Amino acid sequence: MNMRSITLRALIVPCIVACVACGDAEVSQPSGDSELFAGASADAPGSDADSPPRCPAKLQKSPNGPDVAGVALGLPANEALNIVRCHARDAVVLFEDRWFEPRSFNTHQTKLERQVFVAQSGEHSPCDFSSYQAMQRCGPGQRSWDFVAEKIRVATPGLPGKQTVVGVWRTQNFPQGAMPSLDNVLLALKEKYGVHQFRGDKTVNNNLWSDRIELAWITDQAGTPLSEANPLFNDCVRNVNGEVDAGQVWRDGCGLSIAATVLTPRANPGVVGQLSVGLLDQSGLYRYQEAMQDALDQIEETRRRAEVDEARSGDVVL
């Protein structure tokens, strides 16, 4: 595989969030609550998943910033979903109704839906329920997954009809015989995202992987790349994880953040077996959560006032 065949298009995806540290950071873990959409059919009527994707995908306005697999921060959820469905036409798509963790985010009585979607593609077959061992292999979409080629997670929290992309993560697995060279992957990342601000190399040395390379592109809130002299540098770098199923952390003060994780196989550390890229704006996401909470609080206050007004119209019989 030559370098030009490596696809490095940037995105943002299901997670839940909990407050940590001094209240200026959030941590997110994948949620288990999901709704399935596979191929061209959907279980949820009236949604964009009911109809075939509109390809090639067209945006209402050009995104201002980097992307993962064509998905950029700030896109409406329906546009992001269409982009991903055009990118992976045979993917199984799962929807999750939770992104922010209830301990730090109160929805009151407002029901939120489709706050995250995950698209998974690869080699799979219908689930086999003939034995317990066979059932153990059953995964997303009621499919037995022999090889997961790609998994994309897009976080789209928001009030109904206002869901917006705030984060994208993508993990690609390359099969034996089709693994790109490490040099070409690193060059492709540089060409797409520029010079990284951090690189960490670690020897994994387990039965599957040899080396793990972590890269990070980090800016402040004004969009200026952070230097190691900045007191926020280490926190901002550690917060974002490129892997789809990893926990994510963000804090106020850190800006646009891109993370990549490159894993080389034990059999040959000169090629890449797995590549993950994640994207979010840490301060932007922090402010987005605050604004969304304010809106939910206002909805709840309006509901309570209406309930009290209606109650006042009735008589109390003692």
Domain ranges of the chain: 8-128+137-311
Look up residue 189 and give its two tokens. Answer: 């990342």
Tokens 């407050």 label which residue?
19
Distance CA 64, CA 246 (A): 26
C-alpha angle with apex 86: 166 to 100, nearest 5 degrees? Answer: 20
Lowest mean pLDDT among 29-38, 138-147, 250-259: 29-38
C-alpha angle with apex 13: 241 to 158, nearest 5 degrees? Answer: 125
Distance CA 168, CA 76 (A): 13
Distance CA 206, CA 229 (A): 35
Phi, psi of 281 (to 5 degrees): -110, 110
What integer is the mean pLDDT of 166-185? 97
Distance CA 223, CA 230 (A): 14
Mean of the per-residue pLDDT values of the chain: 85
Q: Maximum Cα–Cα distance for the chain, whole Å?
A: 83
pLDDT at 274 over 60: yes
Look up residue 81 and give its two tokens. Answer: 């979903």
pLDDT at 311 over 60: yes
pLDDT at 63 over 60: yes
Count of alpha carbons within 13 angstroms of residue 267, beta-carbon side: 7
Look up residue 86 and give its two tokens. Answer: 């055009």
pLDDT at 233 over 70: yes
Lowest mean pLDDT among 25-39, 116-130, 229-243: 25-39
Q: How confident is the model at residue 25 (pLDDT cuts 50, 70, 90)?
A: low
